[in-house]
Each structure stands twice: as structure tokens, then as C-alpha cells.
Structure 1
Amino acid sequence: MKTKLFVFAFLICSIAIIAQDNCSTFYPMNEGVSMEYTNYNKKGKVQGISTYKVVEATNSAGTTNATMAIDMKDQKGKDVYSTTYNLSCSGNMVTLDYESLLPSEMMQQYGDMDIEISGNDIEIPNELSVGQQLNDANVAMKISMSGINMNMTVDMTNRNVEKKESVTTPAGTYDCFVLFSENRSKMMMANQVYPSRVWLAEGIGMVKQETYKKNGDLMSSTMLTAHSK
């Protein structure tokens, strides 16, 4: 099976939203906020557009919980995938469901099958600094079909704040922290590594993302192309 991982793009997009009650520096939750991201292949050709919208946000006992609806279209505007993720913000940390690590293409393909999912949530602190190490995250999935079980894991490791950099996208120019990670996918006998970088801006979230092959060659990219409060 050929699987394209845009994992880090999806997970950061899922938490790239605007403030409510100052819960988070980078990605607090506020109902109605929406982001549009355009996905490109290694040659810069548009591969699709993803829209992220906060459809529900609540605040109780110092914790903010939100639901993000995600709709993805291909380069011709055809609907290819829709899903929702849950987020929470408490104290100095935003937490995203570990299920967001799973490739959207895979969830679409196996959505009607018996699936068991477990893992460790993704955490990103409110305060970032260059050189800072971030906690690993992972998800494991067991797929049952016709009496046969298949296991898959995705591990996000070596997470760190690499540098600060200004980035310009069609939505504007932003001062960003650059976060690096290695995304490891294991399924059956296949074991692949996809290094990734994401550019995070305060009060906006992700404005750019790049995924690479193991040798460092660019494989795909994602860029913020519209933003609405």
C-alpha cells in the first residue's frame, strides 16, 4: 500500500486557531474561526485545499475544549475527506488527540472497517524557545478485515524548536517558530521516515509546513492561504 503522510501538517492545522480567554499563546479555541490551507507537491503544484473550522468551544474549570471540523478537497475541488478532531487547553499546554497522527488517506480507505486506536496525545506548550525539546507522540492502529489483523503505528519523535524565521504566505507575513520532527510510519513490513518542519506564528498557529523524504528532499508542503476570525 502506498501511503502519503501529511501528518504534521494536519496535526498543526488542527490546532492553528485564534484566542478565547487567553487559554493559549499560539492556538487557543474560538468558535467560528476558520483557516484555509493549500497543499502542494514537491514541484509546487496544487494538490488540494483543506478547510479547518472550530465548530464548538467550551470553557470549564480552567480547561478549554474545542472541536475542529476539517474538510479536504482535491485540486479539482472535489470533496475527498471530512473529519473532526478534539483539542484541549489547560495551564501552559495545548493537547491534541493522538488520532490526528493517522494519515487522512488511510482513515478514508479503512473507515468502514473494525479499527482499534490507542496512543499518546500531542502536546505543544504556550511558551516556545529556540533549542527547546518537545515530548514525543504516537498512535497505534489495529485493523480487522475478513479475519485478518493489520497493525500500524505512527511515531512523532525528535521534536524540537529549531529556529525563528519570518515567513510570507498569501495570507500575510508572520514571525514564526520553526518546529522540527521525525514522523515514522510502520505497517506490516514497511518502515518509513518523514522528517517535517512547521512554521508557527503567535495568535495564528501554522502558516507553513514542509515534509521531506529521509534524504532531505522536499516531498510536499502546505501553506496558509486564507484566515478568518
Structure 2
Amino acid sequence: MKKTILGFIALIITTGQIIAQDSCSKFYPLTEGSSFEYTSYNKKGKEDGVINYTISEVRSEGAATAATFDMKYTDKKGKEVFATDYSFTCENGLVKIDYESLFPSQMMQQYSEMGLEMDISGTDIELPNDLEVGQELSDANVSMAMNMSGIKMNVSVDQTDRKVEKKETITTPAGSFECYLLTENSTAKTMGATIETKSKLWLAEGIGMIKQETYKSNGNLMSSTELTKFTK
């Protein structure tokens, strides 16, 4: 279970930073019906799975605007691994993503039926509109306290040293895009194990995440994800 939880948190950290723009956010979409396809690859560049998103709802919540994403992840054989939805809010040009909403309800229900109690907390990921080269972004984290029949396990992931490194053009099967390159460090801890990774994230105005690469602490590539299709 430990490996499953850590692997899933690694995935939601990626998927929680994905997509486009409207009048509130340059990097996240608020247009119902927009869809995006991302293909993930292993360290050898072989396809590992596909993530599909559709924006199913846009609504007002007081002074903020909120959007709901329907997300489906399929493995390299085309088998659906899970499907879920999650929301984010945008207010005054600042996007915030609620980590708890990223966890698939199917997975949460399955663990609940197994007798697992889970408490999720954290600091939302924030992405402002006014990105500039050299800018430092706020840290983020997510923590889970789990209890099954008296056996307790805590899992935490910290995202630190988030920076805007530079602007450059990135090409994927979906096209060529002028992007901001964001870098960060992640530290995952559970049951005495610590996993440290570094990541690069390329964001384009009007689209959002174009590509992401994750590296071990020694600099070796672990995985990558890139935009392969989108409709707006």
C-alpha cells in the first residue's frame, strides 16, 4: 500500500498543475468542454500511460471562479486505472488547488471499505498570473494520516524551492509553444522512507502545462509527461 500511495501522490502533484486560461488565470482554463490529453513516459522514453481531462463545469463562488475537471488515467495497455474529478478556484489572478479534491473518490471509497481511515491536509498549490524569470513561488505540501485496525501510517510530500528559471520554446506532438520553465524539489516521507526528486515544468499561456520531467536527486531522469492533444 505504501508504494501505491506514494506513486499516486506523485501523479497528482503532476496533474494538479495542468492546463490553461481565462480572464482570471493565464494558465488554467475556465471554458466548459475544453479537453486535454497528456501522455506519460518512463525513464527510457517508452509510453507509460495517458491522462485525459475535460472541463465539465465553471461556476462562481463569491468573488472567486471555480472549475471542475473530469480526469481519467489509462495505462500503457489502454486499461482505465482510475477516473475522478477535482476543482480549483481562481481569484484576483491567483489559482489555488485543493489537494484533498485531487484524490479519486473511487480510491477513497475502496480504502474506506477496507477499514482504512484517512485524514488529508496540506497547503494549496498556488500559481499567479504575473510570472517572471527569477521569481520564487510559494512552497506547497500534502499530508495524510492513515489508520487501519490500529496500524497507523503518515505520508507527506513537500514541494519546495519553486522557481521560474527561464522562457523557452518547447515542441510536443500538440505543437510548439513559448513556455515558462518552473523548477522545484519534492520530498516524500512515509514509514521511515524518504524519496527526494526534482522536477521541471513548462507552462504556456493559454494552454497550461506543456511538459514535465521528474528526476532523481542524483539527476537521472525518472519519468516525463507531455501534451499530445487539446481542444478548446
Do the structures match in fold with TM over 0.5? yes
Matching of residues 2-151 of structure 1 within 5 Å:
2=3, 3-4=6-7, 5-13=10-18, 16-19=19-22, 22-99=23-100, 110=111, 112=113, 113-151=116-154
2:215 is equivalent to residue 212 of structure 1: yes
Corresponding position of 2:180 = 177
CA change 1:215–1:110 in 2 (3 A) is: farther
| Alpha-carbon separation, structure 1, partners of 2:225 and 2:150 | 38
Corresponding position of 2:231 = 228
Equivalent of residue 203 in structure 1, options 203, 206, 210: 206
Counterpart of 2:138, as a letter, is: N
| Alpha-carbon separation, structure 2, partners of 1:150 and 1:38 | 32
Counterpart of 2:224, as a letter, is: S
The SS at the match of 2:16 is helix
Equivalent pair of 2:20/2:205 in contact (CA under 8 Å): no
CA change 1:180–1:170 in 2 (3 A) is: same
Query: Gapped runs of 5+ residues in structure 2?
Result: none
The SS at the match of 1:130 is coil
Equivalent pair of 1:17/1:205 in contact (CA under 8 Å): yes
CA change 1:154–1:102 in 2 (3 A) is: farther
| Alpha-carbon separation, structure 1, partners of 2:165 and 2:86 | 27
Equivalent pair of 1:10/1:100 in contact (CA under 8 Å): no
Structure 1 ranges of 4+ moved more than 4 A: 100-104, 106-112
| Alpha-carbon separation, structure 2, partners of 1:92 and 1:151 | 34
Q: Report how far residue 53 of structure 1 moved.
A: 1.3
How many residue pairs match? The answer is 224
| Alpha-carbon separation, structure 1, partners of 2:170 and 2:146 | 40
| Alpha-carbon separation, structure 2, partners of 1:100 and 1:216 | 31
| Alpha-carbon separation, structure 2, partners of 1:129 and 1:108 | 41
Aligned residues: CA RMSD? 2.1
Quote the sequence identity (%).
50
| Alpha-carbon separation, structure 2, partners of 1:51 and 1:73 | 8
